[in-house]
Amino acid sequence: MDRSSSQRQVEGIPEVILSELRKAPYKQLPFAEVMEISLYHPNCGYYSKPTPKLGKAGDFFTNVHVSDLFGRVVADYFLQYWQEKNASSSLCLIEIGGGEGRLLQQITTQFQLKGVAKSSLQIYSVERSPYHQKEQQKRLSNIPYAIHWVDKLVDVPKASFSIVFSHELIDAFPVHRLIWKNGVWWEIYVAEKENKLVEIHDSLSTVELQKYVNERTEEILEGQQIEVNLYAKKWITEVADWVHSGLIWTLDYGGTTRELHSVRYLDGTMRYYQSHQHVDDPYPLLGSIDMTAHVNFADLMFWGEQSTLTTSFYGSQSMFLIDAGIFSYTAPEYRNAIKQLMMGMGENFHVLVQSK
């Protein structure tokens, strides 16, 4: 890490949070609010800054950096679902939080190779970051389909048949962090001590959190931490309400409640990364680091089913890719990609398909 990047890290977000803390009634903020400011502040949030987030120049890699094979297989799966369920209707294809646009590029390129007509396809990218919108527009400039960029899903016109997909989106939603101590759930807040940001424990900040721990948690060990992603509940509810008919495809790392609340994650799953390296103390670097927590897919399934969605598939990325036909790609140039997508990444990531 060079001196110039170190100087950038201490400018912006920590000062914004200190200002917000000093205005707060109890001089403290739930961690979820601090995470939201750090990632999504319109001027200096991590995802708002005009800097690379993915690949060698960024802070993490994704499936789409391995090979275009990943997007081709996902596209095949979408096309097959569309043909089986509603081929007589046009398809509204919507990506949410697509970052630099590689996955959408791979999918639409495969659509072109499969002869999907322009007239039968509407494409929308829901992307709140102006920087990422511009990156996508450059990357997708040669795609032979019209692509529309919007800030929110509600800005997309209602369609009779839709596929809504996201790739490593929900792990970046702000989470409430809770800790079990002396038979009571406490929430982790951020406060100020000697002009520095520190963590403290206090009572739960919302009634909804209390309802969650009453209904959605099982046996927990003393001192164990968990994350509660209420933003994911709001998100899946809004998407389910918007979709008339079709599917919602979600890929991320995570697991079920039983897995995420196990002894493997006694300190929770919250992690911080910069330049592909794990960061131990995030607070001096807020705004310039990736902040992420594992996705609780059991919660997504539960909340989706409450919103009239049906769980069509849940499993590892490897299981999904097998079902989607990855082994039909037998060309030698795909051998290494298949190995990477099926082994390490294939077991770390999970796919959830919900239909309506």
pLDDT tens column, 128-160: 999 999 999 999 999 999 999 999 999 999 999
Domain count, the chain: 1
* pLDDT score for 86: 75
Q: Match 């809004």 to its residue by tokens.
A: 238
pLDDT in tens, 83-135: 998 767 899 999 999 999 999 999 999 999 999 999 999 999 999 999 999 99
Give a yes or no: residue 291 inside a domain: yes
Q: How confident is the model at residue 345 (pLDDT cuts 50, 70, 90)?
A: confident
Give a yes or no: residue 179 inside a domain: no
* pLDDT score for 299: 98
> Once rounded to an integer, what is the mean pLDDT over residues 15-19?
93
Q: Match 């709140």 to its residue by tokens.
A: 128
> Once rounded to an integer, what is the mean pLDDT over residues 268-293?
94
Report phi then psi at 47, rounded to 5. -80, -10
pLDDT over threshold 60, residue 350: yes
Q: How confident is the model at residue 300 (pLDDT cuts 50, 70, 90)?
A: very high
3 state DSSP class of 176: strand
| Structural domain harbouring 133 | 48-173+229-355
Residue type, 306: Q
Q: How confident is the model at residue 69 (pLDDT cuts 50, 70, 90)?
A: very high
Give a yes or no: residue 181 inside a domain: no
> Once rounded to an integer, what is the mean pLDDT over residues 79-83?
96
**Using the 8-state DSSP alphabet, how is residue 46 labeled?**
T
* pLDDT score for 7: 38
pLDDT over threshold 50, residue 9: no
Q: How confident is the model at residue 171 (pLDDT cuts 50, 70, 90)?
A: very high
Give a yes or no: residue 188 inside a domain: no
Q: How confident is the model at residue 48 (pLDDT cuts 50, 70, 90)?
A: confident
- Quote the CA–CA distance of 330 and 233 in Å, as a whole number: 40
Q: Which residues contact 157 (CB under 8 A, 6 or more apart)?
A: none
Could you tell me the CATH number of the domain that includes residue 60? 3.40.50.12710
* pLDDT score for 62: 81
Listed residue (246, 190, 189, 256) closest to 218, CA to CA: 256
pLDDT over threshold 50, residue 6: no
pLDDT in tens, 209-242: 999 999 999 889 999 999 999 999 999 999 999 9
Q: How confident is the model at residue 346 (pLDDT cuts 50, 70, 90)?
A: confident
In terms of DSSP H, where are the helices of the chain?
Answer: 3-9, 13-23, 31-40, 69-86, 102-113, 130-139, 207-216, 230-242, 257-260, 297-306, 317-324, 335-342, 344-348
Give a yes or no: residue 342 inside a domain: yes
What is the chain's mean pLDDT, rounded? 92
Give a yes or no: residue 21 inside a domain: no
Q: Would you say the C-alpha torsion 106, 111, 115, 116 has a positive or negative sign?
A: negative
* pLDDT score for 5: 39
Give a yes or no: residue 212 inside a domain: no
Percentage of residues in the chain with pLDDT exceeding 70?
94
* Lookup: tokens for 147: 């692509």
pLDDT in tens, 187-206: 999 999 998 999 999 999 99
Q: How confident is the model at residue 11 (pLDDT cuts 50, 70, 90)?
A: low
Give a yes or no: residue 33 inside a domain: no
Percentage of residues in the chain with pLDDT exceeding 90?
85
